[in-house]
Amino acid sequence: MNILITGSAGFIGFHLAKNLLKKKQNNVFGIDNFNNYYSKKIKKKRNSILLKEKNFFFYKINLSKRKRIENIFKKNKFDIIFHLAGQPGVLYSFKNPKSYKINNLLATKHLCEVAAKNKVKKFIFGSSSSVYGDQKKFPISENSKKKPINYYAKTKYQCEKIVKKNFSSKEFSYQIFRFFTVYGSFGRPDMFIHKLLNSIKKNKLISLHNHGKNYRDFTYIDDVVNVLVKSVNKNFQNDILNICKSKPIKNNKLIKIISNLYGKKAKLNLIGKVKGEMLVTHGCNRLLKKNMKHKKFTSIEKGLKQTIKDFKKYNM
């Protein structure tokens, strides 16, 4: 089976590719543009690990360049596409909205159109819990009203519509997953957990938004990847599914757990609320468990223990 993963040098894309490569009958093709949003060092490290596998093939391109995408499709016949590439980051979307328009909207439009033209069997898109915005009723189900409060979230929601538009006919199969605060080994350095780990390691202050009172539905990377891998051969009953543990934790409590596991306290700079940031993420995973048949999730303690172990080992 030929599987294309966009954003293969990214956090989720890397872990997904590594898992799929275990089956030698899978040929995994990765696409990434190595942009400068965060350090390229970790992206190159992830990619170097994948390139050790004989059944991994990599293309360094920007998905906003349609002709480059078409050339790859001319050379290869893909059975499944995981579209995980995109410009991440909530706060950065206020500083550089153009990057989100190019790397999220335009890239998704081009990829979907080329994929549909080439009759790809299944298209799987990685969306975000941010499309829900601030809600009053929890846990948040897939049919909750969408209230994106930042440009990143708005582009993710628009991308979902682009996917539906291109693959809603009977000849195609598509799946949209909304990720809730994914964490784990080789995580993005701009995400809170790895920011915290780096601040502890370097003995530096870390700014804690909303005085640490935010709640986040942290979901371990292995749990996310297990769902994605099963979606290769399984058509779920629901086209849109949350991937979440559905057990949010307050950031203050999370910091205590991490400090205990790391063996060193974090230095905190307590600040107020930040524009565009959600106060609570708490997803409902009832539909996911129904489709997966009673899926269990990794405890926060177990997931953090492995994350910290690898952070110390690989220095990232």
Q: Which CATH number does the domain housing residue 172 bear?
A: 3.40.50.720
Q: Is residue 15 part of a domain?
A: yes
Calpha distance 172→125 (Å, rounded): 14
Residue type, 34: F
Upstream peptide bond of 148 is cis (omega within 30 degrees of 0):
no
39 domain-assigned:
yes
pLDDT of residue 75 exceeding 90, the answer is yes
pLDDT attached to residue 194: 96
The pLDDT value given to residue 125? 98
18 located within any domain: yes
Residue 20 included in any domain: yes
Is residue 152 annotated as part of the catalytic site, yes or no? Answer: yes
- Residue 47 in domain: yes
The token pair at 296 is 């269990």
Please write the tens of the pLDDT for every residue from 159-190.
Answer: 999 999 999 988 999 999 999 999 999 999 99
Could you tell me which of 82, 80, 23 has the C-alpha nearest to residue 55?
Answer: 23
Q: Which range among 9-18, 94-103, 247-256, 275-284 shows the weakest confidence by mean pLDDT?
A: 275-284
Per-residue model confidence (pLDDT) at position 127: 98
Domain that holds residue 78: 2-187+217-246+285-297
The catalytic position among 38, 100, 152, 157 is 152
**What secondary structure, in 3-state letters, does the chain show?**
CEEEEECCCCHHHHHHHHHHCCCCCCEEEEEECCCCCCCHHHHHHHHHHHCCCCCEEEEECCCCCHHHHHHHHHHCCCCEEEECCCCCCCCHHHHCHHHHHHHHHHHHHHHHHHHHHCCCCEEEEEEEHHHHCCCCCCCECCCCCCCCCCHHHHHHHHHHHHHHHHHCCCCCEEEEEEECCEECCCCCCCCHHHHHHHHHHCCCEEEEHHHHCCEECCEEHHHHHHHHHHHHHCCCCCCEEEECCCCCEEHHHHHHHHHHHHCCCCEEEECCCCCCCCCECCECCHHHHHHHCCCCCCCHHHHHHHHHHHHHHHCC
pLDDT at position 39 is: 86
Beta-bridged to residue 205, according to DSSP, are 267
Q: Residue 315: inside a domain, yes or no?
A: no
pLDDT digits (tens, 9 = 90+) for 249-306: 999 999 999 999 999 999 999 899 888 888 899 999 999 999 998 789 999 999 999 9
pLDDT at 274: 86
Instruction: Say yes or no to pLDDT of 11 above 90.
Output: yes
Q: How many domains does the chain have?
A: 1
Give me the mean pLDDT over the 68-89 stretch.
97
- pLDDT of 286 reads 96
Cα(172)–Cα(155) distance, rounded to whole angstroms? 23
Token pair in block for residue 290:
């129904």
pLDDT of amino acid 316: 86
Q: CB under 8 Å to 15, separation ≥6 — which residues?
A: 184, 186, 221, 222, 224, 225
Report the largest interatomic distance among the alpha carbons of the chain, rounded to a whole angstrom.
56
Q: How distant, in Å, are the alpha carbons of 35, 41, 60, 92, 275 from that of 38?
A: 8, 9, 17, 11, 21
3: Cα separation from own chain's centroid: 18
Q: Please tell me the distance from the alpha carbon of residue 90 to that of residue 130, in angstroms, as a whole number.
A: 9
Q: Is residue 22 part of a domain?
A: yes
Q: Report pLDDT digits (tens) over 202-256.
A: 999 999 999 999 999 999 999 999 999 999 999 999 999 999 999 999 999 999 9
Task: Specify if 256 maps to a domain.
Answer: no
* Digit-coded pLDDT (tens) for 133-159: 999 999 999 999 999 999 999 999 999
CA-CA distance, 86 to 98, in Å (whole number)? Answer: 12
pTM of the model: 0.96
Across residues 1-21, what is the average pLDDT?
98
